[in-house]
């Protein structure tokens, strides 16, 4: 039995849950900086690749089985269904809840059951919830789980939007095929883009670099992988095109216009919700990218819309979400 102040429960593999792992690591780091005396552990299903990420980041936080987990506060951060973030496994939550005094659920969904048997539900995309049960719902884009000290610096408070888009970063989640990379490149070529594109190739597609590089385009394409800082790449770009996910909110915080391409239907739903709020341009599913919208987005005439989009996004996502979540967890250990 492992006694701890905070226990993180999640599942993580290259194809499922790596984003959840990375944000939990950031939360643990923020907690450790604020209150180094707190003991933390991790539990759940971890692939060998996930374990390799965990060890160097949290060498003092052991990985334990659920039956060996015993923590004052248990934090659950799982995508229970890879096709629908709104799905929540009440049975699994009940089993994990037994391992701690208080339970906090972090969700990426738009909705969550009102009668959840947890103490706190934190969701940056959650629609306003009426609290009729045990759980306290904490919602709002200010809780988007991104954090970097540079994001709140004076330099980043001055948003830069160029008259025309010349440098584009294409970024993809950990998908099995390269449509989320290849389709935007093809679309950019078809609308006559002549600038440069940097492609961040995920670990899952490193074996298909030659296929991506073989695409014939009228612009310069640079392929990168395993970079030390995605945020720096975003800052050097005039526009980021990528799948909906954690990178979307990082771009908001950095102050770079973002255009989504969607691999799954729920991504299209979530991106459309953010587009309604004025935070991004949703270019649609990878099979049917809206080329007219893309052409307008990168043009000189689209500058005002890009600038307004950045202004709204920076006001909503300030890069302090991880700090806010870590403070909620720290407070739970004291209450």
| Count of beta carbons in the 10 Å neighbourhood of residue 262 | 23
- The burial of 72, by beta-carbon neighbours within 10 Å (0-12 exposed, 13-18 middle, 19 or more buried), is given as middle
Q: Where in the chain is the domain with CATH 3.40.50.2000?
A: 149-316
What's this model's pTM, rounded to 2 decimal places? 0.90
Beta strands per DSSP E along the chain: 2-12, 40-46, 63-64, 69-76, 100-107, 120-123, 136-139, 167-171, 196-200, 220-224, 239-242, 258-262, 281-285
> Is-contact 279 312, C-beta < 8 A?
yes
pLDDT at 155: 41
User: Rounded CA gap, 42 and 62, in Å?
Assistant: 6
Model pLDDT for residues 96-136, shown as the tens digit of each residue: 999 999 999 999 999 988 788 999 999 999 987 666 668 89
Tokens of 194: 């002549």
The CATH number of 149-316, from 3.90.1150.10, 1.20.120.1810, 3.30.230.20, 3.40.50.2000, is 3.40.50.2000
Q: With b meaning 16 or more CB within 10 Å and e meaning fewer, what string describes 178-197?
A: bbbbbbbbbbbbeeebeeeb
Q: Taking the domain 2-147+320-334, which CATH number applies?
A: 3.40.50
Backbone φ and ψ for 41, nearest 5 degrees, come out as -135, 165
Other C-beta atoms closer than 10 Å to the C-beta of 83 total: 9
CB 328 within 8 A of CB 122: yes
Q: What is the pLDDT along the chain (335 residues), one digit of tens a residue?
A: 557 999 999 998 877 778 889 899 999 999 999 899 999 999 999 988 888 888 777 777 889 999 999 999 999 999 899 889 999 999 999 999 999 999 999 999 999 887 889 999 999 999 876 666 688 999 999 999 987 655 555 445 555 687 889 999 999 877 777 889 999 999 999 999 999 999 999 877 888 888 888 888 889 999 998 888 788 889 889 999 999 998 999 999 888 999 999 999 999 999 999 999 999 999 999 999 999 999 999 998 789 999 999 999 989 998 899 999 999 999 999 98
**What pLDDT does 148 receive?**
60
């Amino acid at each position: 039995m492992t006694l701890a102040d905070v226990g993180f429960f999640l599942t993580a593999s290259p194809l499922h849950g790596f984003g959840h792992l990375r944000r939990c690591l950031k939360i643990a780091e923020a907690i450790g900086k604020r209150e180094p005396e707190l003991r933390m552990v991790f539990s759940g299903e971890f692939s060998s690749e996930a374990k390799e990420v965990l060890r160097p980041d949290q060498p003092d936080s052991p990985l334990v089985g659920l039956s060996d987990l015993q923590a004052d506060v248990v934090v659950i951060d799982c995508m229970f269904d890879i096709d629908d973030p709104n799905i929540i496994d009440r049975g699994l939550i009940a089993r994990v809840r037994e391992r701690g005094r208080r339970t906090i659920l972090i969700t990426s969904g738009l909705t969550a059951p009102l009668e959840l048997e947890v103490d706190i539900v934190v969701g940056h995309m959650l629609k306003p919830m009426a609290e009729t049960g045990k759980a306290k719902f904490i919602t709002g884009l200010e809780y988007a789980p991104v954090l970097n000290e540079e994001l709140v610096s004076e330099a980043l408070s001055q948003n830069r939007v160029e008259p025309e888009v010349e440098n584009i970063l294409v970024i993809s989640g950990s998908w099995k095929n390269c449509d989320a990379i290849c389709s935007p490149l093809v679309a950019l070529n078809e609308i006559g883009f002549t600038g440069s594109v940097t492609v961040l190739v995920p670990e899952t597609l490193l074996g298909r670099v030659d296929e991506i590089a073989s695409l014939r385009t009228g612009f310069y394409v640079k392929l990168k992988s395993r970079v030390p800082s995605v945020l720096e790449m975003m800052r050097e770009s005039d526009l980021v095109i990528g799948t909906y996910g954690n990178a979307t909110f990082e771009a908001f915080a950095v102050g770079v216009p973002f255009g989504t391409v969607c691999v799954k239907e729920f991504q299209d739903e979530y991106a459309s919700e953010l587009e309604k709020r004025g935070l991004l341009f949703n270019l649609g599913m990878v099979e049917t990218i809206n080329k007219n919208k893309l052409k307008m987005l990168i043009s000189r005439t689209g500058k005002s819309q890009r600038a307004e989009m950045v202004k709204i996004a920076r006001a909503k996502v300030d890069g302090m979400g991880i700090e806010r979540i870590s403070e909620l967890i720290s407070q739970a250990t004291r209450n």
